[in-house]
Amino acid sequence: MPGPKEDIMGLFDSLKNMFARHEHHHGGGIGQPLTLADAKAVLAFIVVHQQLADMRKVADAVKQLQDEMPQYITFGMSHYYSEPKRVRFQSEGGKFIDADAIATAFAETTVLQDECEIQHLMGDIEDNREHRDPAKTPAVPIDELVRVTDERLATGNNEEQSRAWLFALFDQLDDIAEATKNNLEPLVTALNTTQQNSSATIGNSATTDAGNSSNNANAGDARSRIISLIADALFPAAESSKTSESSASAAIRELMLNPTATSLDYMPAIDVLRAHGLTICR
């Protein structure tokens, strides 16, 4: 049975493999305009490369990101502190790691909790990717993910929790497509039905103007339709762009809908990490 040291090495080996898959995406460093995907990868890279003795700082920083800028939360961030049992008996620099406090902070981080749940529903594909043969691995059924999505987005549910689930779905969409072997149509149907049945969209309680909506449930591939449905729910196209808040929402929406669009809008997220004392490497 592996000891704590072997567990830690295994954790960082998996992180190394995960980030190796994203390295070719980076078109620039911190301070350069980045796509939403690249900005998430940079932020996650910063998070997971912090010292173990700073785990509480990391948890608090990621919690603030989730509360204020959930569009930058990504599953890779959970690897740092979502499994404190692996480091419960580790110490660094003579400091004992407060794993219970870190676990509490993680429990409050809704988007990451949802991302981890989606990963479990998809057979923990991120953690198992290096050990699976796609040609021999059967597709993961999407039915349970659809059921949970219907449940989370049901009319009358907590709006913050519904939004968290949508951000998590958006971030996990590529893994969902890979795990289900592109069986995404049931999720399209679920999201489309939810949006049609909602008296208000899950975005600042505003109703979407069908004429301005980016979504057309009958156009494009399933992945694109899901992205459009999520963007419409989170940031309705009919929102006025006269205020700074709605302008920011429009900017996030554009980054979600256009994977090649770049922006410096992630820099406040860098500032949040820095404010919590995290080391920022360029």
**Chain centre distance of CA 73:** 4
Q: What is the mean pLDDT of residues 16-40?
A: 69
Q: What pTM value is reported for the model? A: 0.78
Q: Which of 44-53, 62-71, 193-202 has the lowest mean pLDDT?
A: 193-202
- What 8-state DSSP symbol labels residue 280? -
Judge whether 122 and 175 are in contact, CB under 8 Å.
yes
Task: Say yes or no to pLDDT of 14 above 60.
Answer: no
- Three-state secondary-structure class, residue 258: coil
pLDDT band at 281 (very low <50, low <70, confident <90, very high): confident
Neighbours of 280 (CB within 10 A): 12
Which range in 14-18, 29-33, 240-244 is most confidently predicted, on average pLDDT?
A: 29-33
- Three-state secondary-structure class, residue 96: strand
pLDDT at residue 196, rounded to an integer? 81
Residues ≥6 apart with Cβ < 8 Å to 149: 165, 169, 187, 190, 191, 194
- What 8-state DSSP symbol labels residue 91? E
Q: What is the mean pLDDT of residues 146-164?
A: 91
Q: What is the pLDDT of residues 98-140, one digit of tens each?
A: 666 666 666 667 898 899 899 999 988 877 777 777 777 888 9
Residues ≥6 apart with Cβ < 8 Å to 146: 186, 187, 189, 190
Q: Which of 156-160, 167-171, 224-228 has the lowest mean pLDDT?
A: 156-160
List the domain boundaries for the chain.
4-111+265-275, 134-257
CA distance 145 to 186: 9
